[in-house]
Every structure is written in structure tokens, then in C-alpha cells.
Amino acid sequence: MDELTGRTAVITGGASGIGLAMAHHFGAEGMRLVVGDVEAPALDAAVTELTDAGFEVVSEVIDVREIDDLKRLEATAIENFGNVHVLCNNAGVGGGGAVADPDNLATWKWTIDIDLWGVIYGCKVFLPAMIAHGEPCHVVNTASMAGHASPPMMGAYNVSKYGVVALSETLTREMQMEQTNVGVSVLCPAFVKTGIAESARNMPDDVAATVPERSDNEDGVQSFISALVDGGISPDIVAQAVVDAVKDNTFWILTHENTKAGITARAKEIVEGRNPTLDGALG
């Protein structure tokens, strides 16, 4: 997309972190903003912040686990701004736990419903009209480096992010095959300074009630990851990379240069038939 001014961007998970940074950067490009998030107070604050920055913005409190909520978000976008041009399926949480733990199924389902099904629903709801109106469009699906590696004790998150990568690769090939007006990117950051380590703040009570106590191994991995998140890069760096990818029609958005070696090493392990190692997951 060479020209973003006057176009409309939809961002889920847009009240904080990477999503809010995306909204600021797309707004600075002259785009009109449609922001959805499950946290009502944070969303209100984000809309005030974006409006004060001089951007045109509307919002909806949504839960991306519910396809009807995404349909409502699309209706709000069309009613206020007309055609949608950029779709950022960005809402996500961290969670899951060990694969062999029989007691964390509700957490797994909650995580996968948001991190993978939320992206699927976003594509299913918004893409038909984006293709039909024929103007230049772009979809950005937020995955993670966890879509290329598989750290222990993060099974549901890893499964979701691998799924988002696969979905995005499938989608971009379909859009090429059908010669549509839609470009596709998949965002695969490593550690970014966001609130993802506190995702449980948005966990429904019925899910939270089922969360088992963490094992010592789980506590160790979670503490390690939380420290890396705290030392991560700014969401603004990620958001600028997203804007650049939309403009340049770049599929892979790898925001951490040092992660590329890990992707190469994993591919080499596969073709050489070597078993995955713990070192390969944690770096």
C-alpha cells in the first residue's frame, strides 16, 4: 500500500502494548482508526490518548473469542469510516502451561481461542468485504517468535502462534492465487515491553478458578520469560516495522535481528534429522 492517508485501519487488542503503538503509528500516517479491546477502562484511556493526538478514532469493547463481537467491530468501522483497508489481528494473551498437565485445559482453551481463533475470526469477518471493495488492503496477523520455536511450559501459546504463522502463509498464497488486492504480513517479534506477562488480568473467573498451582519448573520458566519481557524492545519499534511492512508489502516481520539465526538453526535441525533440544528453545 503506497498511500495510507485517508484509509481505515482496524486493530484488535488496541488498548495497550503493540496494538496501541500500531494505532499511534497508523494514525500518524493519516489513517482513521478502529480500535477493539476486551479491557473497557484501558480502551477508554487509549481512545482519549489517540484523540488528543489528533487522530480520528472509534472503538468497541470486544472479545475476539466471539465472532459476533468482530462482526460488530466491522459494522462500526463501516458505519463510521466506510471501507476497511488495514486489518491488524493483534489481540493476544500468554498462557497455557505444561503439555502433560491434565488440569490446565481451560487455560489452554482460553489462550488458543484468543491467540488463534481470534485471528481466524478476524480474517473470516473482515476479508470478504476487503476483497470485494477492490481498494489496496493489507492484513497483519500478530504471531511471535514462539511461532518458530517452542519454549517449554508455553504449549498453548506456542500452538497458537505456530497456527497464526501457518494461517498467514496460507492466506498470502491464496491472495496471490486469486490475484486479490490484499497483502499479508505476519508479525513475529521476540520480547517486547508489554503487559503480556500479566495476561491473567483478563482471564474470566471460571477459567481462573481452574488454574492449577505452578510447578517449580513452570515458575522458573515464567520468571525467566517475565524478565525478558521487562527488558524487551519498545512497542514503538514493532509498530514502525508493521507500518513499513504494510507499505512495502513485506510478509515476514522479524523485529529482532538476532532471532533469525534461531530460525535457520531450527530449519537445519529438521533437514538433518536432529532432535529438538532445550537450548534450541530458550536460546
Question: Domain ranges in the chain?
Answer: 8-258
Instruction: Report residues of the chain scoring pLDDT below 70.
Output: 197, 214-230, 280-283
- Give the pLDDT of residue 214: 66
Q: Is 121 marked active-site?
A: no
C-alpha pair distances (Å), 88 with each of 36, 194, 273? 10, 17, 36
Classified by CATH at the fold level, domain 8-258 comes out as Rossmann fold (3.40.50)
Catalytic position from the list 126, 157, 162, 191 = 157
- Give the pLDDT of residue 223: 59
- Give the pLDDT of residue 157: 95
Q: How far apart are CA 180 and CA 137, in angstroms?
A: 9
- Give the pLDDT of residue 65: 98
Q: How far apart are CA 154 and CA 217, in angstroms?
A: 12
**pTM as predicted:** 0.93
Label residues 52-90 b or e (16+ Cβ within 10 Å = b).
eeebbbbbbbbbbbeeebbebbbebbeeebeebbbbbbb
- Give the pLDDT of residue 20: 98
